[in-house]
Amino acid sequence: MAQINPSILSADFARLAEEARAVEGADWLHVDVMDNHFVPNLTLGVPVVQSLRKATDIPLDCHLMIEDPDRWAPAFVEAGAGSVTFHAEAAAAPVRLAREIRALGARASMALKPATPIEPFEDLLPELDMLLVMTVEPGFGGQAFLDVMLPKIRRTRRLIERHGLPLWLQVDGGVSAETIERCAEAGADVFVAGSAVYGADDPAAAVRGLRAAAERAAGGRAGAGADAPAER
């Protein structure tokens, strides 16, 4: 089943509690954490996660675009995150960090920037609950979807299936009604959507529409099965 994670980076920061309630029916609430070092932007931290946890029953999916996630990620679990994503490019000891996040009771996820290939991390996949393929350069919302990431999504899906892992495959960046079907066809099953949800007149309806589109496309991919041509 497709999961839709609205990104509060596109919400009204002065009304975060209300904006969280506006996406009732979402699977997770995506929280972009940026430190102005790993990426050239500064956003939210642990205190906001603590406040959001009190304001909504939707589980929190925290994406750490920060340096030294080995040090800081556990604090986000303790603040109430149900899933914590660290970047492969920033983590000093990704296996140890993933195990620590899991031991604290959250799902462990690793993100890859557009230029970072998945193949060097194949052996780490069993340590994870989710893999995030960035479909824009991390740092800012509202960017255009990078179609060149579709082959990478397909390769990642094939690796997951080859190992028989119950690993979610998330995409983040430029996901909209115009791009979500391509992502789902390529093998993604968790979708972060910012302006496509919070820019809509009815954010909850936008969530439902995106989920329906993704599930239609995923059904087509499943139907194609082994007859689908391999892609390098």
Which residues participate in the annotated binding site? 7, 30, 32, 63, 139-142, 172-174, 194-195
Q: What's the sign of the alpha-carbon dihedral 39, 40, 41, 47?
A: positive
H or E segment to which residue 132 belongs = strand 130-134
Q: Which residues line the annotated binding site for substrate?
A: 7, 63, 139-142, 172-174, 194-195
Give the active site residues: 32, 172
Q: 155 — phi, psi (to 5°)?
A: -65, -40
d(CA 157, CA 135): 15
Both tokens of 54, joined, read 């009190």
* Contact in structure between 25 and 123 (CB atoms under 8 Å): no
**CB neighbours (10 Å) of residue 114?**
15
Q: Which residues line the annotated binding site for a divalent metal cation?
A: 30, 32, 63, 172
Q: How far is CA 88 from the centre of its chain?
A: 14
